[in-house]
Amino acid sequence: MLVLVVNAGSSSLKSQLIETDGKLCLMKCLAQKVGTPEASMSVAFSPEFQKVKYNVAGFTVEQCLAKLLDVLVEDPESPIGSLDQIDAIGNRVVAGGEYFTRATLIDDEARGHLAEIEELAPLHNPVADQCIDLLREAMPNTPQVAVFDTAFHQTMPPKAYMYPLPMRYYNDYHIRRYGAHGTSHRYAAQQAANLLRRSLRDLGLITCHLGNGGSITAVNHGKSIDTTMGFTPLEGLMMGTRSGSIDPAIITYIMRKEGKTFDEMDHILNNESGILGITNESSDMRDVLESADAGDEEAELAIDMYVYRVQKAIGSYYAAMTRTDAVVMTAGIGENSARLRERIFEGLAHMGMILDKQRNDVEGAIGVNRIISIDDSPIKICVVTTDEEVRIARETDNLVSQL
Ligand code: AMP
């Protein structure tokens, strides 16, 4: 089955064309920093995967997707000459609320429910919905599936997903922890089990998705039992532009002091905080590491805070599980930054997570799943390349095949 996977983020678009039968990737597209002056989009086709760049300055994520559809039809390197050759579309959707507990075929009813839960992930869900609408119009006969980041976390027990608020907020508004990045945590856990040559059912894992957004999950016997993201993807770790967990009283304090509206406060917490908020320069960890090397004290502080919060989250999940066999690092920072991994695990050796500095820092190992702890580390440390697109393609194939 030929599946177009669309992973629309707040400021990025990742897309792949995947032939699920042969597990082949035929096209990769990446648009980054969309909506900023540095926006860029590249498309590459198999077998060479030579990237061709497109000017997407001033584009929205949805317009980047429209451009990609044009390229798919018009580029002589493209394996398809018409969009009709695509059998199904798999969309990554961050928040599924309590309504969507598994991957779902998008019909009018499902589209209506998607609209109702947009506010659960205000940076992501509306963008994904716009992309779904564009695809429904451009490819009306192609089945579309939504694969939800929250679905993996539906196994959390009430003690993990309930907030200590008046019960009526759960009963009336379904306010509870939903988590996110579920597709990535599930995949990272399975890949780690493969690396450890053990069944996922026998393992206690702490999976760390550290990218522009970030979350950590306690995966016990293959099931998510707790995760740092909450009712929305704002809770938990310090992120690129999101504050993560802060004292909730700060929000009303600032609103009163500066007369901020709800929308303005939302924007501050989601778009102006986190690494960007502390450095006042960039939300991108690579830039921040460079600035820290050049002696920028705020960049150094941002890295210190980031590392400390990751360490505390790993520690809390060590406490939440009855056993911990491995910590798994994935996504942009987790996969690529040996330096940050070293900083994080420097502080966790006393818990039995002992990094092997050489294995951590192997040149050219980027993209290779591997164990980076010393041989007799009581808790192993793994690096896993997240492949959300492949997982989304598989889930889409499973659902559409049953039609
Ligand atoms: P993602 O959201 O998974 O694409 O991850 C994006 C984040 O990963 C950004 O903050 C990047 O700066 C960061 N990142 C990617 N490569 C590296 C690297 N080699 N060193 C440090 N951070 C990186």
The pLDDT tens digits of the residues spanning 276-290 come to: 999 999 999 999 999
In one-letter notation, the amino acid at residue 36 is: T
Q: Please work out whether the CB of residue 244 comes within 6 Å of at least one atom of ligand 1.
A: no
**Residue of 242, 336, 388 to test ligand 1 pocket, by largest number of atoms within 8 Å of CB:** 336
6 contact partners, CB below 8 Å, separation of at least 6? 13, 15, 65, 89, 90, 91, 92, 128, 131, 135
Beta bridge partners of 379: 353
d(CA 14, CA 41): 10
d(CA 112, CA 90): 18
Q: What are the tokens at 167?
A: 């019960």
d(CA 376, CA 361): 18
Nearest-atom number in ligand 1 for the CA of 287 is: 12
pLDDT at 246 over 70: yes
Please tell me whether residue 224 adopts helix, strand or coil conformation: strand
d(CA 147, CA 390): 12
pLDDT at 367 over 90: no
Query: What distance in angstroms lies between residue 163's CA and the mean position of ligand 1's atoms?
Result: 31
pLDDT at 213 over 70: yes
pLDDT at 122 over 90: no
**Residue of 94, 229, 286 to test ligand 1 pocket, by largest number of atoms within 8 Å of CB:** 286
Residue 197 is predicted with a pLDDT of 97
How many CA atoms lie within 13 Å of 55's alpha carbon, on the beta-carbon side?
1
Residue 364 is predicted with a pLDDT of 66
Query: What distance in angstroms lies between residue 286's CA and the mean position of ligand 1's atoms?
Result: 6
Query: What distance in angstroms lies between residue 103's CA and the mean position of ligand 1's atoms?
Result: 28
pLDDT at 223 over 80: yes
In one-letter notation, the amino acid at residue 158 is: P
Q: Please work out whether the CB of residue 333 comes within 6 Å of at least one atom of ligand 1.
A: yes
| H or E element at residue 390 | helix 388-401
**Residue of 275, 285, 293 to test ligand 1 pocket, by largest number of atoms within 8 Å of CB:** 285
Query: What distance in angstroms lies between residue 43's CA and the mean position of ligand 1's atoms?
Result: 20
Q: Please work out whether the CB of residue 201 comes within 6 Å of at least one atom of ligand 1.
A: no
pLDDT at 22 over 80: no
Q: Please work out whether the CB of residue 32 comes within 6 Å of at least one atom of ligand 1.
A: no
Residue 23 is predicted with a pLDDT of 80
| Percent of the chain surpassing pLDDT 70 | 100
Let me know the angle formed at the C-alpha of 69 by 64 and 75, rounded to the nearest 5 degrees. Answer: 110
List the end-to-end C-alpha distance of the chain, in Å, as a whole number: 13
The pLDDT confidence band at residue 363, using thresholds 50, 70 and 90, is low
pLDDT at 365 over 80: no
CB count, 10 Å around CB of 138? Answer: 14
Least confident window among 44-53, 317-326, 364-373? 364-373
164 contact partners, CB below 8 Å, separation of at least 6? none
> Locate tokens 């963008």: which residue?
127
Q: Please work out whether the CB of residue 9 comes within 6 Å of at least one atom of ligand 1.
A: no
Q: Which residues are catalytic?
A: 149
Residue 388 is predicted with a pLDDT of 82
Residue 266 is predicted with a pLDDT of 94
The pLDDT tens digits of the residues spanning 310-339 come to: 999 999 999 999 999 999 999 999 999 999
Residue 237 is predicted with a pLDDT of 98
Question: 294 and 349 in contact (C-beta within 8 Å)?
Answer: no
73 contact partners, CB below 8 Å, separation of at least 6? 80, 81, 82, 83
Please tell me whether residue 263 adopts helix, strand or coil conformation: helix
How are beta strands 223-227 and 144-148 bridged, if at all?
Answer: unpaired
Residue 172 is predicted with a pLDDT of 92
Tell me the average pLDDT across 170-190: 93
Q: Please work out whether the CB of residue 344 comes within 6 Å of at least one atom of ligand 1.
A: no
Tell me the average pLDDT across 92-102: 89
Residue 391 is predicted with a pLDDT of 85
Nearest-atom number in ligand 1 for the CA of 283 is: 10
Q: Where are the alpha helices (DSSP H) in 150-210?
A: 158-161, 167-173, 182-196
Average pLDDT value over all residues in the chain:
95
The secondary structure of the chain in percent helix, strand, coil, rounded to multiples of 5, reads 45, 20, 40
CB count, 10 Å around CB of 199? Answer: 10
Q: What are the tokens at 124?
A: 């992501």
By alpha-carbon position, which residue is closest to atom 23 of ligand 1? 333
Tell me the average pLDDT across 196-206: 97
The CA dihedral of 14, 51, 241, 59, to the nearest 10 degrees, is: -80
